[in-house]
Amino acid sequence: MVKALLFDVQGTATDFYSTVCEEAARISAGRHPDADWGEFVKRWRAGYFVALEAAQGSGWVSVRSVYRRALDTVLADCGITGFSDAEREELTLAWQRLRPWPDVVPGLTRLKGAYTLATLSNADVSAVVNISKRAGLPWDAIFAAEMAGVFKPDPAIYRLAARYLGLDPADIMMVASHKYDVRAAGRFGFATAFVARPLEFGPDGDADVAYSDEFDVNAADFLDLAAQLGC
């Protein structure tokens, strides 16, 4: 009997693709009419994963600094010139302003009556706090990789969340649109929920949305998750 649900934030609860695309276009202010902002965001996100992997084992680095450093490379690779340092800082802050998918607030609101709801995000604590406050996400607690000093899917972060909740792993369900995250939580003993986010990388993206019997729940969105969990 699951008592608490832990949610991934970047991609699962929030739509970084459209948020960051719009911020980039806004800051560009018409200076880059040929830029493919969708491709730019996909590359930035990929650069983040590469930098995160490289950072593993070498002490804590803030995710904000990871995005900021990856940005310079991605802008150059995309041939996008003319962004000042201040504009690059401002653009990096877009990751602290991610908008939720439309089902997220109503879904969480339904789930909140029956379950403890918390984040378990690789984003910085401050980013998750800022995203959640701006969007009105009704978490009972915010947990993030920064608190464990390692990133998902390191088992230490799932262990820390269980300790902070005062619950056994079997009492906790991990909810994410990324199978590596759900699988790692499952290996640690959590119940598992996969949520499909077909637009995570935009309309032409290649998000993995295939349901799988290996997960306890496969859901189309947070409202479907709530329905399947009896809320």
Q: Alpha carbon 138 to chain centroid distance?
A: 16
Q: Could you tell me if 118 and 4 are in contact, meaning their C-beta atoms sit under 8 angstroms apart?
A: yes
Q: Which of 132, 177, 192, 218 binds a copy of itself (CB under 8 A)?
A: 132
CB-nearer residue toward a copy of itself: 140 or 214: 140
Tell me, what DSSP letter sits at residue 141?
Answer: E
CB-nearer residue toward a copy of itself: 110 or 197: 110
Q: Which of 51, 73, 164, 171 binds a copy of itself (CB under 8 A)?
A: 164
By CB under 8 A, the residues from 92 to 121 that bind a copy of itself are: 116, 118
For position 156 contacting a copy of itself by CB under 8 A, the verdict is no
Euclidean distance between CA atoms 138 and 118, whole angstroms: 9
Burial classification of residue 200, based on how many CB atoms lie within 10 Å of its CB (0-12 exposed, 13-18 middle, 19 or more buried): buried
Q: Could you tell me if 150 and 58 are in contact, meaning their C-beta atoms sit under 8 angstroms apart?
A: no
Stretch that binds a copy of itself, among 125-133, 150-158, 179-187, 195-203 (CB under 8 A): 125-133
Q: How far is the CB of 126 from a copy of itself (least distance, A)?
A: 3
Q: How far is the CB of 79 from a copy of itself (least distance, A)?
A: 32
Q: Which of 72, 166, 180, 187 binds a copy of itself (CB under 8 A)?
A: 166
* Residue length of the chain: 231
For position 140 contacting a copy of itself by CB under 8 A, the verdict is yes
Q: How far is the CB of 105 from a copy of itself (least distance, A)?
A: 15
Residues near 227 by beta carbon (within 8 Å), at least 6 away in sequence: none
Euclidean distance between CA atoms 160 and 69, whole angstroms: 28
Count Cα atoms within 13 angstroms, Cβ side, for 118.
19
By CB under 8 A, the residues from 21 to 60 that bind a copy of itself are: none
Q: How far is the CB of 123 from a copy of itself (least distance, A)?
A: 11
Q: Could you tell me if 123 and 137 are in contact, meaning their C-beta atoms sit under 8 angstroms apart?
A: no
- Residue 132 corresponds to which tokens in the numbers above? 């959640």
For position 231 contacting a copy of itself by CB under 8 A, the verdict is no
Q: Which of 51, 55, 105, 129 binds a copy of itself (CB under 8 A)?
A: 129
CB atoms < 10 A from the CB of 47, how many? 19
For position 14 contacting a copy of itself by CB under 8 A, the verdict is no
Site residues (CB under 8 A) for a copy of itself? Answer: 64, 116, 118, 124-127, 129-130, 132-133, 140-142, 146-147, 163-167
